[in-house]
Amino acid sequence: MSVAVSTTGRFWGWRQFCLSALFCLSTHISIAQDAAPTGAADQRAQAVTQVVLGILSYARWPVEPEQLRLCIVGPTEYTDDLVKGTTQATGRPVLVQRLLASSPALGSACDAVYIGKLSSDERSRLFTALSGHAVLSISEGGDQCTVGSLFCLRVADNQVSFEVNLDSVARSGVRIHPSVLQLSRRRSAQP
């Protein structure tokens, strides 16, 4: 008795097996890539998060919030890691939300404000809204330290440093531990 076997059926079965194996392998590779930081931008975002959390941990408000409310205002480059929400080293949760610079809730809804790119008009309205409230402000970059922010981040390829506007700190109602102020002097003195 002779049995006819189709070579076409074997070919398609082997081809499907190879395609399935290739698909599974590519899925595992893409999952592994998603788990690891994809590059320098992710590393900078993580470094900015650590610096911001460090600054916040050395700040004291007139009435300490159980949950720290950090508001992000304006377009930013390095807040991807912050937006995920986090907890300070003390265990206090940090609630992160995005608000518009024109939001009337800024002074009452935020304990700290992370400021991205804003026009000079938007910045002026923002600081007017924050006036009279104990809100710590951190600017992502540029020369905003002369315009009202308490802290200004300086993000480079291999490090994140910050400057402090002592005049703004004195008017903010938020007390900053002297160690942070000294750290900013040392970091800004480095080349």
Q: Mean pLDDT of residues grouped by 10 in the chain (191 residues)?
A: 44 40 36 52 88 92 93 92 82 92 90 93 91 93 74 86 89 89 59 44
Distances in Å between the Cα of 71 and the Cα atoms of 20, 27, 29, 113, 132 are 46, 36, 36, 5, 17
61 plus 138 within the same structural domain: yes
74 plus 157 within the same structural domain: yes
102 plus 79 within the same structural domain: yes
164 plus 126 within the same structural domain: yes
CB of 99 closer than 8 Å to CB of 109: yes
106 plus 127 within the same structural domain: yes
99 plus 118 within the same structural domain: yes
Q: Which domain holds residue 95?
A: 40-189
141 plus 90 within the same structural domain: yes
Burial class (CB in 10 A: 0-12, 13-18, 19+), 184: buried
CATH number at residue 147: 3.40.50
Number of compact structural domains in the chain:
2
Residue 56: the pLDDT is 93
Residue 19: the pLDDT is 35
73 plus 152 within the same structural domain: yes
Concatenate the DSSP letters of all residues of 11-26 into one string. Answer: HHHHHHHHHHHHHHHH
Residue 109: the pLDDT is 94
Residue 20: the pLDDT is 40
